[in-house]
Structure 1
Amino acid sequence: MNDKISNLSELLAVAGDRTVAVVRGITDEQLAAATPCGEYDVDALVGHLLQVVENFQELARKRDADFGTAPERLTGEWRDRFAAETVRLVAAWAAPDAEEGMSGAMGLPARTVGAMALGDLTVHGWDLARATGQPYEPDAAVVAAVGAEFAALAPMARSMGVFGEPVAVAEGAGPFAELLGLTGRDPRWTRPETSSSTAAAGT
């Protein structure tokens, strides 16, 4: 993993706090709204992100995780549940041996797997914010760390359908716009009711 990730759990906490704030700001009326992840509406994307924060806790403990099931539809106090599971994710990656060795069925270094969780929190936080009209400003250190890691993972991620085809961004658009483009997102995406833009491919 890039040296800029010096304390993964601290960066997860920073990214988690910002995405939790977005999730708490989602109204029930917005759950059917489209997102920059073309295959997910807001409800499904929050459900997917819940799977992410739960499964990456297991990966931190070097256990198997199942990403093969469709995300559950949101019920009950899902905002509180997401916040609580994000706290557990941070704690799991703060364990002394979490970043050591290999983790996951793909046999990736544990620190790379942790960076994938960090990237999902950050990019999907933007997805949800953009879909629901909320502000989202990622932490610069998080963006630097995720961008370096995702650049190396991009070919594999595209072959697996995790990333869409890269989207060109304007010169000087900044590191976060470049990260979004790398994952197949158009940083200019806006909600369909306010723009004719279409969702970018990828998750």
Structure 2
Amino acid sequence: MTNDDTHLAFENSEVAGTGGGPRGALLRAPPPRARPRVAAPHPAARRAATPAAATHLAFATSDGAGRGGGPLGALLRAAAAGAVPLVAATDDSALGSSTPCSEYDVRDLLNHLFAVVVQFQALAAKGGADFSTTPDRLAEPDWRERFAVETGKLVEAWAAPGAEEGTSGAMGMPARTVGAMALLDLTVHAWDLARATGREFEPDPEVVAGLVDEVEEMAPMARKMNVFGDAVELQAGASVFERLLATTGRDPRVRPTD
């Protein structure tokens, strides 16, 4: 959310490093090719500006989902169990494909997600993070294995005693909120990757439940900073995860085209 994407990286904050836009003001990372990207939905997505009341995820009465809040380490472990196999099975031939993130292709998306799992390890330990640049880790032949290793380190970092307590980053954000940003990226970008490569992805229901309240609270500021796109209007009967995607500005009904 940053100006770039779902990974709230308040860029002018230490949490996001030195940068300038909203994810930097919430947490962000420019793509390796220096293409400014707004973590917004695919251009063809049909968006609808909705009043604050309508923007509310209102999941408490939907699909039985209420307030979620398990330990971040456990939620990240569950999210990683879904994301890591998707990344590992991504063929090199798909790296140039477009994604629901309007200015990221698959390669950019994976490099961004790689940066998230690495930088948020430090944030779990109340250290600093630098999202000012995004290395092209996919240039390395073993990038799939390294992603799995770094994601495992991310899980362990947020499972460590005290990781969720206090604040993290230069802006002094609640550590739990900072960790939820990593959880959101790992979940939503896994969906982005699956959608871009013609695969299906359904996250663990506990992970979705753990994100509902966090995303709802992030949404107003995230939209104001162009971290989220406008909420997408969905028909009745949409799942909790589809509504969460719609809140970030993604249209779960649209598939990107090259």
The one of 128, 132, 135 equivalent to 1:64 is 128
1:73 Cα deviation from its structure 2 partner: 5.5
Letter of the structure 2 residue corresponding to residue 79 of structure 1: R
Name the SS of the counterpart of 2:138 in structure 1. Answer: coil
How far off is 1:107 after superposition? 1.8
Matched, 1:114 2:179: yes
Q: 1:39 is aligned with what amino acid?
A: E
User: Counterpart of 2:72?
Assistant: 8
Say if 1:60 and 1:92, in contact at 8 Å, map to a contact too: yes
Identity %: 55
Deviations 1:79-123 (A, max 9, x none): 111111100000000110101100123321001111111111000
Take 2:246 and 2:135, find their aligned partners in 1: how far apart are those partners? 25
Pairwise CA distance, 1:147: 1.7
Are 2:164 and 2:175, in contact at CA under 8 Å, matched by a contact in 1? yes
1:159 aligns with 224
CA RMSD of aligned residues (A): 1.5
Counterparts of 1:99 and 1:67, CA distance in 2: 21
Structure 1 residue aligned with 2:159? 94
Letter in 2 for 1:55: Q
Q: Can you list the C-alpha shifts for 1:133-188, whole angstroms capped at 9, x where unaligned?
A: 11211111111111211110112222333211111112110110100000010101
Contact 2:107 2:138 survives alignment (8 Å): yes
Cα deviations by residue, 1:14-42 (Å, 9 ceiling, x for unpaired)? 10110001101110000000000011000
In 2, the alpha carbon distance for the partners of 1:73 and 1:88 equals 17
Q: Could you tell me whether the CA contact under 8 Å between 2:69 and 2:210 is conserved in 1? A: yes
How far off is 1:71 after superposition?
A: 4.9
Moved more, 99-108 or 26-35: 99-108
Amino acid of the residue matched to residue 182 of structure 2? A
Alignment of 1:1-150 (within 5 A): 4-72=68-136, 74-75=138-139, 76-150=141-215
| Structure 1 segments unaligned to the other structure (5+ residues) | 194-203
- Rounded to whole Å, the distance in 2 between the matches of 1:44 and 1:165 is 23
Amino acid at match of 1:135: E
Counterpart-to-counterpart distance in 2, 1:73 and 1:99 = 28
Give the alignment of 1:163-202 within 5 angstroms. 163-192=228-257
Q: 1:160 to 1:73 in 2, by over 3 A?
A: farther
Aligned residue identity for 1:129: A
> Which residue identity does 2:217 align to in structure 1?
A
Gaps of 5+ in 2: 1-65
- Give secondary structure in 1 for the equivalent of 2:111: helix
SS of equivalent to 1:86:
helix
Structure 1's 60 and 73: CA in aligned 2 closer, same or farther, altered over 3 A? closer
Decide whether aligned partners of structure 1 residues 71 and 187 sit closer, same or farther in structure 2, where only a CA change above 3 A counts: farther
Contact 1:44 1:71 in 2 (8 A): no
Structure 1 stretches of 4+ moved >4 Å: none
Q: TM-score by structure 1 length?
A: 0.90
Q: CA contact under 8 A between 2:115 and 2:134: conserved in structure 1? A: no
Q: How far apart are 1:191 and its partner, in Å?
A: 3.5
Give me the whole-angstrom Cα distance separating, in 2, the residues matched to 1:98 and 1:12: 13
Change beyond 3 A, Cα 1:68–1:165: farther
* Secondary structure of residue in 2 paired with 1:74: helix
* Separation (CA, whole Å) in 2 of partners of 1:113 and 1:188: 29
